Amino acid sequence: MAKDHVNGPEDYEALIEEVLEAYPDKAKKRRAKHLTVSKATDEAPDATTGIASKCDTQKSNIKSIPGVMTVRGCAYAGSKGVVWGPVKDMVHISHGPVGCGQYSWSQRRNYYIGKTGVDSFVTMQFTTDFQEKDIVFGGDKKLEKTIDEINELFPLANGTTIQSECPIGLIGDDIEAVARKKKKETGKTVVPVRCEGFRGVSQSLGHHIANDAVRDWVFEAEESEAVKAYEPGPYDVNVIGDYNIGGDAWASRILLEEMGLNVVGNWSGDATLAEIERAPKAKLNLIHCYRSMNYICRYMEEKHGIGWMEYNFFGPTQIAASLRAIAKNFDETIQENAEKVIAKYQPLVDEVIAKFRPRLEGKSVMLYVGGLRPRHVVTAYDDLGMVIAGTGYEFAHNDDYKRTGHYVKEGTLIYDDVTGYELEKFIEKIRPDLVGSGIKEKYPVQKMGIPFRQMHSWDYSGPYHGYDGFAIFARDMDLAINNPVWGMYDAPWDTPAIAAE
């Protein structure tokens, strides 16, 4: 394998072997289990995508290897950064040293409407800013005082959450006792979250712990006024796992409302505590990011008898299929409305595809993201005629890889918890027309002369959900790939080196 570039999927197995050669034996053995090529399967193809492949032959959701430059984050990132952080009318305390809250401050682009610092607090950084004495003597007293000061200075905050950083669990603080005490004193919700960064192997456990905290400290608490005042209706749904990045949840909500559904709660982008509290009264939970919030949906199903279904609002094919699938849970009116919504937006879809597909047809894409996106966005690329060469997840579990088989064809390169080294080599050898990943990957890839879009933050663009979002998505992929800058990397006076075969 001394070729500069691989020709296609037939070379991927050999490429994996070649990349693994760089590792010491122990690490090589462990990493080999995370890199595969999707295989043929006997399973029936997915009804919407027409695809079936086998992607779950590899290991996932296990510890990263030290020293390899994993892209993964931590449980705190999963709880504060993903699940709780967007709840806008609560103050989320980064409990511990200053860094965690500082680096994650305002970086997820969870859009919301509100007066920041008065009745909304998403783009603020609240921390107990631990000092050495807090580590030595414990931080519970400081935490209590912190909550008191929050209540005094931010009287319209409807509650607080305590997002534990690494030291909290190591020094034996009892944040649950503090939470109970403060709740009793003030009547306001206080949620302790044990999302210390060393717990688990990635962000994923943080999602789970955050979901459990919703269960234990919001659902299990006595009914709030907001819940008591609420009259449930037959068309009430919750949107679960849409963090409103660049306005995603709004571009989705508009479609559900046009169908005649009531979105009681949007978890958790632009959400208020009341939207969390009232969720168990809805008829159906619609899950977008399965990975980060399936836990609480399973709980609501068990405890409150609310069904849940996954849907996908990336790209018109999946949007239409999802709208129909959602409508099936309701009466004929809603089903007719779904058809009307699809028909209403069809001209926009046609326009977008007519304009951008010719510019993107056949372009290859490699993805490396988290949550739902390594599979969910695939069909949006399909709608534009683009081809997925490889995809992978930072923190998926086996059930995510199972689902991936409904989205990517046989012969797709699959990488789990990819290391900086592996991803660079894969990209270098495959040389896709576009890479979609995160900020840490953006600049290395662009230096190589390959167009890139951040697919966590939408590269400061978005929304990408819904029909309105699809137009932006298509435009963004076009502007990334078809910019003149990629043609200027070589100085004209240098003769391009001819690669030795």
Partner 1 sequence: MPQSADKVLDHAPLFQQPEYKEMLENKKVKFECGHPDEMVKEIGDWTKSWEYREKNLAREALTVNPAKACQPLGAVFASAGYEKTMSFVHGSQGCVAYYRSHLSRHFKEPASAVSSSMTEDAAVFGGLNNMVDGLANTKALYDPKMIAVSTTCMAEVIGDDLNSFILQAKEKGSVEADFNVPYAHTPAFVGSHVDGYDNMQKGILQNFWEKAERTPNESINIIPGFDGFAVANNREIKRMLDEMGVEYTFLSDVSDVYDTPSDGEFRMYDGGTTLEAAAAALNAKATVSMQEYCSPKTLEYAASKGQEVAALHYPMGVQATDEFLMKISELTGKAIPETLKKERGRLVDALADSQAHLHGKTYAIYGDPDFVYAMARFVMEMGGEPVHCLATNGSKKWAAKMEELLATSPFGKQGKVWAGKDLWHMRSLMATEPVDMLIGNSYGKYLERDTGTPLIRLMFPIFDRHHHHRFPTWGYQGALTTLVKILDTVFDKLDQDTIIPGETDYSFDLTR
Structural tokens at position 20? 């693994």
> Does the protein bind partner 1 through residue 71 (CB under 8 A)?
yes
Which residues, 6 or more positions from 413, have their beta carbon under 8 angstroms from its beta carbon? 9, 12, 15, 16, 35, 37, 366, 389, 390, 391, 426, 430
Structural tokens at position 62? 């296990």
> Does the protein bind partner 1 through residue 8 (CB under 8 A)?
no
DSSP string, 215-265: IIIIISSPPPHHHHT----TTEEEEEEE--BTTHHHHHHHHHHHTT-EEEE
> Does the protein bind partner 1 through residue 375 (CB under 8 A)?
no
Where b means 16+ CB within 10 Å and e means fewer, 37-56 reads bbeeeeeeebebbebbbbbb
Decide whether 356 or 381 has the Cβ nearer to partner 1: 356
Decide whether 130 or 219 has the Cβ nearer to partner 1: 130
Q: Residue 276: in which H helix or E strand, if any?
A: helix 273-277
Q: Please choose, out of 70-78, 315-323, 330-338, 365-373, the segment that lies near partner 1 by the rule CB under 8 A.
A: 70-78
Query: Look-up: residue for tokens 């495959």?
Result: 430
Q: Please choose, out of 33-41, 266-274, 306-314, 408-416, the segment that lies near partner 1 by the rule CB under 8 A.
A: 266-274
Which of the residues 19 through 48 are near partner 1 (CB under 8 A)? 22-24, 26-27
> Does the protein bind partner 1 through residue 246 (CB under 8 A)?
yes
CB of 173 to partner 1, least distance (A): 12
> Does the protein bind partner 1 through residue 447 (CB under 8 A)?
yes
Q: Please choose, out of 74-82, 292-300, 312-320, 397-405, the segment that lies near partner 1 by the rule CB under 8 A.
A: 74-82
User: Measured between alpha carbons, how far is 172 from 189 in angstroms, rounded to an integer?
Assistant: 23
CB of 375 to partner 1, least distance (A): 22
Which residues, 6 or more positions from 458, have their beta carbon under 8 angstroms from its beta carbon? 109, 245, 246, 464, 476
Q: Of 106, 117, 116, whose CA–CA distance to 80 is shortest?
A: 106
Decide whether 199 or 406 has the Cβ nearer to partner 1: 199
CB of 53 to partner 1, least distance (A): 30
Structural tokens at position 501? 């075969």
**Residue 94 bridge partners (DSSP):** 127, 163
Please say if 274 is a catalytic residue: no
CB of 42 to partner 1, least distance (A): 38
Decide whether 334 or 384 has the Cβ nearer to partner 1: 384
Which of the residues 466 through 485 are near partner 1 (CB under 8 A)? 467-468, 471-472, 474-475, 485
> Does the protein bind partner 1 through residue 421 (CB under 8 A)?
yes
> Does the protein bind partner 1 through residue 253 (CB under 8 A)?
yes
Please say if 474 is a catalytic residue: no
Decide whether 99 or 307 has the Cβ nearer to partner 1: 99
Q: Please choose, out of 18-26, 40-48, 331-339, 365-373, the segment that lies near partner 1 by the rule CB under 8 A.
A: 18-26
Which of the residues 80 through 139 are near partner 1 (CB under 8 A)? 89, 96-100, 102-107, 111, 113-119, 123-132, 134-135
Q: Which of 77, 384, 396, 481 binds partner 1 (CB under 8 A)?
A: 77
Rounded to an integer, what is the distance from CA 322 to the centroid of its chain? 19
Q: 3-class SS at 126?
A: strand
Please say if 55 is a catalytic residue: no
Which of the residues 345 through 364 are near partner 1 (CB under 8 A)? 345, 348, 351-352, 354-356
Q: Residue 78's CB: how many other CB atoms inside 10 A?
A: 30
CB of 481 to partner 1, least distance (A): 16
Q: Are 475 and 454 in contact (CB under 8 A)?
A: no
User: Measured between alpha carbons, how far is 341 from 210 in angstroms, rounded to an integer?
Assistant: 35
Tell how strand 452-454 and strand 126-127 pair up. Answer: unpaired
> Does the protein bind partner 1 through residue 163 (CB under 8 A)?
no
Decide whether 381 or 467 has the Cβ nearer to partner 1: 467
User: Measured between alpha carbons, how far is 432 from 423 in angstroms, rounded to an integer?
Assistant: 12
User: Measured between alpha carbons, how far is 89 from 44 in angstroms, rounded to an integer?
Assistant: 46
- Which of the residues 31, 34, 199, 207 is marked catalytic? 207
CB of 186 to partner 1, least distance (A): 15
Q: Which of 69, 221, 309, 387 binds partner 1 (CB under 8 A)?
A: 69
124, burial (CB in 10 Å: exposed 0-12, middle 13-18, buried 19+): middle
Please say if 74 is a catalytic residue: yes
Which of the residues 273 through 302 are near partner 1 (CB under 8 A)? 273-275, 278
From residue 379 to residue 418, what is the string marking binding to partner 1 with x (rule CB under 8 A)?
----------------------------------------
**If binding means CB under 8 A, how many residues of this protein chain bind partner 1?**
130
CB of 10 to partner 1, least distance (A): 26
User: Measured between alpha carbons, how far is 264 from 243 in angstroms, rounded to an integer?
Assistant: 15
Rounded to an integer, what is the distance from CA 458 to the centroid of its chain? 11
> Does the protein bind partner 1 through residue 222 (CB under 8 A)?
no
Which residues carry out catalysis?
74, 77, 108, 207
